[in-house]
């Protein structure tokens, strides 16, 4: 839809609104070897943060590390994380905690658009497992470190696709009527509901940690490409002509991780660095709390926020 260009749009395009010095801060970006995640990692490092690239593939992670580290002063580390395996999530959280002992921002960026119905190592539908459940467990395991920070932040990558439906509590794993787009939208709604539930629980407990969700825009990345055989590479090339670059797509995630004015803003849905309305289903706190409880059970986790 066409709309008038505002001063904000010009500032957004020029980076003119971005504040926030990240010197001395430690940040994790999941899926940081490609697309929006790689751009997010680069922009955060350019603001002075030490950025841990949490990547599932050693080769793709090392390639990104080499490319990103080529500018003096940027500080990166690479650690292995496969969100399709909850044991890998636990191992990552333990290794990270041991190595760094502090965390200022967690950017849950990694995500997939599945091709056909596949399962994670623990038997969850892959899109639900990678985009939502793995990120849920990672966040819960790292909360103690975020609470030690002066003002810890969680950034949850969602999408405008969150509005395509409601939570399928009776079939979270899409055993019936699998459709890759429906599964994707469902996982992104779960991310947004988790944002709402967690923000509310942290607020009640008087925690300084905030959590906000982001739709990056329609961004020309390789999310549509089959990584194993390069199928649909032409779609990604076509997207480059029509849609936002990864650097533009990363701006709202970076804004949520850095902006000092957001210290008390939590549980919101952002697009282009502004709070935007989200779907009715995504505002249902009862549903958000139910999903939170179910997710704890699926991960075999005791609620770390239970008083």
| Shortest distance, position 302 Cβ to ligand NAP, whole Å | 24
| Shortest distance, position 194 Cβ to ligand NAP, whole Å | 13
Q: How many residues bind ligand NAP (CB under 6 A)?
A: 30
User: Hey, is 246 helix, strand or coil?
Assistant: helix
Residues across the chain: 307
Q: Who contacts 123 (Cβ-Cβ below 8 Å, separation ≥6)?
A: 173
Q: Who contacts 200 (Cβ-Cβ below 8 Å, separation ≥6)?
A: 267, 285, 288, 289
**Dist CA 254 CA 47 (whole Å):** 10
Among 20, 152, 163, 216, binds ligand NAP (CB under 6 A): 216
Choose the catalytic residue: 184, 269, 271, 292: 184
Buried b (16+ CB within 10 A) or exposed e, 203-219: eeeebebbbbbbbbbeb
Q: What would the x/- binding string for ligand NAP be over residues 158 to 197, using CB under 6 A?
A: -x--------------------------------------
Among 46, 48, 57, 200, binds ligand NAP (CB under 6 A): 57
Does 184 qualify as catalytic in the annotation?
yes
Confirm if 292 and 194 have CB atoms less than 8 A apart. Answer: yes
Among 49, 68, 83, 256, binds ligand NAP (CB under 6 A): 83
34 binds ligand NAP (CB under 6 A): yes
Stretch that binds ligand NAP, among 20-28, 41-49, 143-151, 211-219 (CB under 6 A): 211-219
Q: Which residue has the tokens 């997939």?
A: 112
Start-to-end C-alpha separation, the chain = 47
Integer CA distances (angstroms), 193 to 247, 280, 294, in order? 26, 11, 12
* CB nearer to ligand NAP: pick between 196 and 201: 196
Stretch that binds ligand NAP, among 12-20, 106-114, 259-267, 275-283 (CB under 6 A): 106-114
138 binds ligand NAP (CB under 6 A): no
Query: Which parts of this chain interact with ligand NAP (CB under 6 A)?
Result: 30-31, 33-37, 56-57, 60, 81-84, 109-112, 130-131, 157, 159, 215-216, 218-219, 221-223, 227
């Amino acid at each position: 839809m066409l709309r008038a260009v505002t001063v904000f749009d010009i500032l957004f395009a020029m980076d003119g609104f971005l504040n926030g010095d990240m010197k001395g801060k430690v940040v994790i970006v999941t899926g940081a070897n490609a697309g929006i995640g790689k751009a997010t990692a680069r922009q955060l490092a350019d603001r002075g943060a030490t950025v841990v690239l949490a990547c599932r593939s050693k080769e793709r992670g090392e390639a990104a590390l080499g490319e990103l580290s080529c500018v003096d002063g940027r500080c990166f580390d690479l650690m292995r994380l496969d969100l399709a395996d909850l044991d890998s999530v636990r191992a990552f959280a333990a290794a990270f905690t041991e190595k760094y002992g502090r965390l200022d921002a967690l950017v849950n960026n990694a995500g997939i658009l599945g091709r056909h119905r596949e399962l994670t190592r623990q038997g969850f539908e892959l899109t639900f497992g990678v985009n939502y459940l793995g990120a849920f467990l990672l966040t819960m395991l790292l909360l103690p470190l975020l609470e030690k920070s002066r003002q810890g932040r969680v950034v949850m990558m969602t999408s405008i696709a969150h509005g395509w439906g409601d939570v399928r509590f009776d079939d979270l794993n899409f055993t019936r009527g699998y459709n890759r787009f429906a599964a994707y939208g469902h996982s992104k709604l779960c991310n947004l509901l988790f944002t709402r539930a967690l923000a509310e629980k942290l607020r009640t407990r008087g925690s300084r940690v905030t959590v906000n969700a982001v739709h990056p825009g329609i961004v020309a990345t390789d999310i549509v490409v089959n990584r194993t055989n390069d199928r649909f590479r032409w779609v990604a090339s076509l997207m480059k002509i029509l849609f936002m670059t990864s650097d533009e797509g990363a701006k709202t995630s970076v804004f949520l991780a850095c902006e000092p004015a957001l210290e008390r803003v939590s549980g919101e849905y952002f697009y282009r660095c502004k709070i935007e309305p989200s779907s009715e289903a995504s505002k249902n706190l009862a549903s958000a709390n139910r999903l939170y409880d179910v997710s704890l059970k699926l991960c075999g986790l005791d609620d770390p926020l239970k008083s």
